[in-house]
Amino acid sequence: MLAVLNLKVSYGGITAVKGVSFAIEQGETVAFIGTNGAGKTSMLKALARVLNEGTQGSIKLRGEEIIAMPPHHLIRNGLALVPEGRGVFARLSVAENLAMGAYIRNDRQEIAADLGRVYELLPQLRERHRQLAGTLSGGEQQMLALGRALMARPQLLLLDEPSMGLAPLMVNKVFETIRTVAASGVTIVLVEQNAKLALQTARRGYVMESGCITLAGSSSALLADPRVRKAYLGE
């Protein structure tokens, strides 16, 4: 599904991602954990081509090189990013945000059906569909960002810290939704501070430290690894 080779991201003089390589298979959920400033967001932004200047290396999406693709074409190729901090359109209604998710699609009936499915998955959005997204709670905004990405029918979903700033109950809800989406066959790259939850959700994971991947393995192996336990699970 995704093959990344020696990806580097730099901002002017600072190099935030120093050449990472990994591959992700169709249908799997993979976690990336790491401390603040490890370069996780920079990496996801490079994958979604939000950053274009300063990215180097190779990103192959289903075999096709996308490192030079115009950013607005990526979603047509099945890649959707739910950015850090959600990035909902605050001055648009919930329904309009979801419509923007389906911006690239023309199949009206299918869009309506998907909208029904998203509302079923995230019923709190249906109740608030006319409300401005900026007036939603943080958790509801995260749900909206997720629902909006699903409206594009992505094959590969990149999630940047979906639990950020949410109360435990809401975090559980968000992750429950992520598992449902994963079970439907969508490939997921999950970046998280909450290492335990991320590794419990994903089948395998990577640990990033100052721009490099320093550990990789199955979730159970990482959860058992003393370095992970010490640095990320606070034990």
Partner 1 sequence: MDTFLQQIINGLTLGSLYAIVALGYTMVYGIIQLINFAHGEVVMFGAMITLSVISAAAGSGLPPAAMILMGVAVAIPACMALGYLLERAAYRPLRKAPRLAPLITAIGMSIVLQQIALMIWSRNILSFPQILPVTLYEVAGASVSSLQIIIIGLCLVMMTGLAWIVYGSRLGTAMRATAENPEIARLMGVDVDRVIAMTFIIGAGLAAVAGLMVGIYYGLAHYTMGATLGLKAFSAAVLGGIGNIPGAMVGGILLGLVEALGAGYIGELTDLCGYSTLNFLFQSRCADGGNLVLFGSNYQDVFAFVVLILVLVFRPSGLLGERVADRA
Ligand X SMILES: Nc1ncnc2c1ncn2[C@@H]1O[C@H](COP(=O)(O)OP(=O)(O)OP(=O)(O)O)[C@@H](O)[C@H]1O
Interface residues toward ligand X, by CB under 6 A: 11, 14, 16, 34, 36-42, 84, 193
Q: How far is Cα 147 from Cα 117, in angstroms, rounded to an integer?
A: 9
Q: Which of 29, 41, 55, 141 binds Mg ion (CB under 5 A)?
A: 41
| Residues 33, 217 contacting (CB under 8 angstroms) | no
Residue among 190, 199, 100, 93 at smallest CA distance from 140: 93
Gyration radius from the chain CA atoms: 17
Residue 76's binding partner among partner 1, Mg ion, ligand X, none (Cβ under 5 to 8 angstroms by kind) is partner 1
Q: How far is Cα 43 from Cα 208, in angstroms, rounded to an integer?
A: 10
| Residues 16, 38 contacting (CB under 8 angstroms) | no
Residue 80's binding partner among partner 1, Mg ion, ligand X, none (Cβ under 5 to 8 angstroms by kind) is partner 1
Task: Output helix, strand, coil percentages for the chain, rounded to the nearest 5.
Answer: 40, 30, 30
* 92 vs 170 by CB, closer to partner 1: 92
Residue 37's binding partner among ligand X, partner 1, Mg ion, none (Cβ under 5 to 8 angstroms by kind) is ligand X
User: Does position 152 bind partner 1 by CB under 8 A?
Assistant: yes
User: Does position 92 bind partner 1 by CB under 8 A?
Assistant: yes
Strands 156-160 and 187-192, bridge-based pairing:
parallel
Q: Which of 89, 126, 173, 233 binds partner 1 (CB under 8 A)?
A: 89
Instruction: Give Cα 74 distance to the centre of its chain.
Output: 14
Residue window 94-123: x/- pattern of binding to partner 1, with contact defined by CB under 8 A: --x--xxx-xx-------------------
Residues that bind partner 1 (CB under 8 A): 48, 50, 70-76, 80-81, 83, 87, 89-92, 96, 99-101, 103-104, 148, 152
Residues that bind Mg ion (CB under 5 A): 41, 84
